[in-house]
Structure 1
Amino acid sequence: MTLSPRSRANAVRLLALLLVVSLLAPAGVSALTYDPSTDTSLEPGTITSPANGSTVISVQGYTFQGNTNPKKPARLLSVGPRGDLQWTHNDSVGGSAWFFDVDPLPNGNLLVSSPRAGDTVVFELNPETQERVWQERFNMTDTHDVAYLGDDRIAIANMREWNASAEVSDDRIVIYNRSTGEFTWEWYFKNHFPESTDGGYNDDWSHVNDVDPVGEDRLLLSPRNFDQAIVVDIESKEIVERLGSDDDYDVMREQHNPDWLLSENGTPTILVADSGNNRVVEYAKEDGEWVRTWEVGTGSLTWPRDADRLPNGNTLVTDTLNHRVMELTPTGEVVWEYYATWGPYDAERIGTGPESSGPTIRDLNASGSYDITGSANLTAGGNESVGFAGRIRATFAGTALEGPMNEFATRWAHVTPWLRPVWMSGWDFVWAISALLVGLVWAGGELIAGRQQIVAGIRRLADR
Structure 2
Amino acid sequence: MSEQSLPSLTAVRSVLSRNRLRIAFIAVILLSAAALATSASEDGLSTATEADVPNAPETDNHTVITESGRAGTITAYTPDGEVMYYNNTRTKYFDVDPTEDDPLTVEYTATDTIHSAGPTCSDPPCSRNVLERVDLETGEVEVLYERYDYKETAGEWHDATRINDTHVAIADIVADQVFVVNTETEVVDWLWDAQSDFPVEEGGPYPEDWAHINDVEYIEEGEHEGRIMASLRNQDQVVFLDPEEGLVDDWTLGSENDYDVQYEQHNPDYIPESQGGPAIVVADSEQGRVQEFQREDGEWNRTWQWADEQIQWPRDADRLPNGNTLIADSHGNRVIEVNEEGEIVWEVGSTLPYEAERLETGAESEGGQSAAELGLESRTADDDGGDSDDGFGFNPLEYPGNLLEELLPHRIHNGLLFATPIWMGSTEFAAVGIALLVGVTWAALEVRWQLRDAGIRFRLPFYRRDG
Pair 1:391 & 2:402 matched:
yes
Given that 2:316 and 2:356 are in contact with CA atoms closer than 8 Å, whether structure 1 keeps it comes out as: yes
The one of 170, 181, 194 aligned to 2:186: 181
Question: Partner amino acid for 2:352?
Answer: G
Give 1:281 deviation, angstroms.
0.8
Give 1:81 deviation, angstroms.
2.5
Aligned partners of 2:318, 2:215: CA distance in 1, in Å?
13
Distance 1:375 1:131, change over 3 A: farther
The one of 115, 129, 137 aligned to 1:128: 137
Given that 1:89 and 1:130 are in contact with CA atoms closer than 8 Å, whether structure 2 keeps it comes out as: no
- Where do residues 202-281 of structure 1 align in structure 2 (5 Å cutoff)? 202-215=207-220, 217-240=226-249, 241-264=251-274, 267-281=277-291
- Where do residues 29-40 of structure 1 align in structure 2 (5 Å cutoff)? 29=38, 36=44
Given that 2:262 and 2:287 are in contact with CA atoms closer than 8 Å, whether structure 1 keeps it comes out as: yes
Aligned partners of 2:233, 2:317: CA distance in 1, in Å?
15
Aligned partners of 1:247, 1:90: CA distance in 2, in Å?
36
Question: Partner amino acid for 1:74?
Answer: G
Distance 1:424 1:293, change over 3 A: closer
Question: Structure 1 length as normaliser, TM-score?
Answer: 0.77
The one of 314, 332, 338 aligned to 1:328: 338
After superposition, give the CA deviation of every residue in 1:358-385 in whole Å (9 maximum; x if it has no partner): 11112123354467879999x99xxx9x
Unaligned runs of 5+ in 1: 63-72, 162-170, 394-404, 458-464
Question: Partner amino acid for 1:312?
Answer: N
Pair 1:110 & 2:106 matched:
yes
Given that 1:277 and 1:298 are in contact with CA atoms closer than 8 Å, whether structure 2 keeps it comes out as: no
Aligned partners of 2:292, 2:66: CA distance in 1, in Å?
23
Question: Partner amino acid for 1:115?
Answer: T
- Where do residues 1-400 of structure 1 align in structure 2 (5 Å cutoff)? 1-3=9-11, 7=15, 11=19, 16-29=25-38, 36=44, 41-45=53-57, 50-51=59-60, 53-62=61-70, 73-92=71-90, 97-108=91-102, 109-117=105-113, 118-119=126-127, 120-140=129-149, 141-161=155-175, 171-198=176-203, 201-215=206-220, 217-240=226-249, 241-264=251-274, 267-339=277-349, 341-357=350-366, 358-369=368-379, 391-392=402-403
Give 1:246 deviation, angstroms.
1.4
Aligned partners of 1:156, 1:309: CA distance in 2, in Å?
22
After superposition, give the CA deviation of every residue in 1:283-307 in whole Å (9 maximum; x if it has no partner): 1111111111111124342211111
SS in structure 1 of the partner of residue 55 of structure 2: strand
Distance 1:387 1:22, change over 3 A: closer
After superposition, give the CA deviation of every residue in 1:217-265 in whole Å (9 maximum; x if it has no partner): 3111111121121111122212342111111111111111001112449
Question: Partner amino acid for 2:364?
Answer: E
Question: Partner amino acid for 1:3?
Answer: A
Aligned partners of 1:86, 1:270: CA distance in 2, in Å?
32
Give 1:211 deviation, angstroms.
0.8
Given that 1:267 and 1:286 are in contact with CA atoms closer than 8 Å, whether structure 2 keeps it comes out as: no
Q: Alignment identity in percent?
A: 32
Unaligned runs of 5+ in 2: 1-8, 114-125, 150-154, 458-467
SS in structure 2 of the partner of residue 44 of structure 1: coil
SS in structure 1 of the partner of residue 434 of structure 2: helix
Given that 2:84 and 2:136 are in contact with CA atoms closer than 8 Å, whether structure 1 keeps it comes out as: no
Aligned partners of 1:209, 1:101: CA distance in 2, in Å?
9
Distance 1:121 1:427, change over 3 A: same
Question: Partner amino acid for 2:69?
Answer: G
- Where do residues 376-455 of structure 1 align in structure 2 (5 Å cutoff)? 391-392=402-403, 406=406, 408=408, 410-411=410-411, 413-422=413-422, 426-443=426-443
SS in structure 2 of the partner of residue 2 of structure 1: helix
| Cα RMSD after superposing both structures | 3.7
Give 1:270 deviation, angstroms.
0.8
Aligned partners of 1:37, 1:248: CA distance in 2, in Å?
36
SS in structure 2 of the partner of residue 436 of structure 1: helix
Give 1:452 deviation, angstroms.
10
Give 1:44 deviation, angstroms.
2.6
Distance 1:375 1:134, change over 3 A: farther
406-415 vs 83-92, greater mean Cα deviation: 406-415
Give 1:22 deviation, angstroms.
3.5
Distance 1:104 1:188, change over 3 A: same
Question: Partner amino acid for 1:57?
Answer: I
- Structure number with bigger Rg: 2
Give 1:432 deviation, angstroms.
2.1
Give 1:416 deviation, angstroms.
3.2
Given that 1:221 and 1:232 are in contact with CA atoms closer than 8 Å, whether structure 2 keeps it comes out as: yes
Distance 1:406 1:431, change over 3 A: closer
Aligned partners of 1:177, 1:296: CA distance in 2, in Å?
38
Distance 1:376 1:38, change over 3 A: farther
Given that 1:319 and 1:344 are in contact with CA atoms closer than 8 Å, whether structure 2 keeps it comes out as: yes
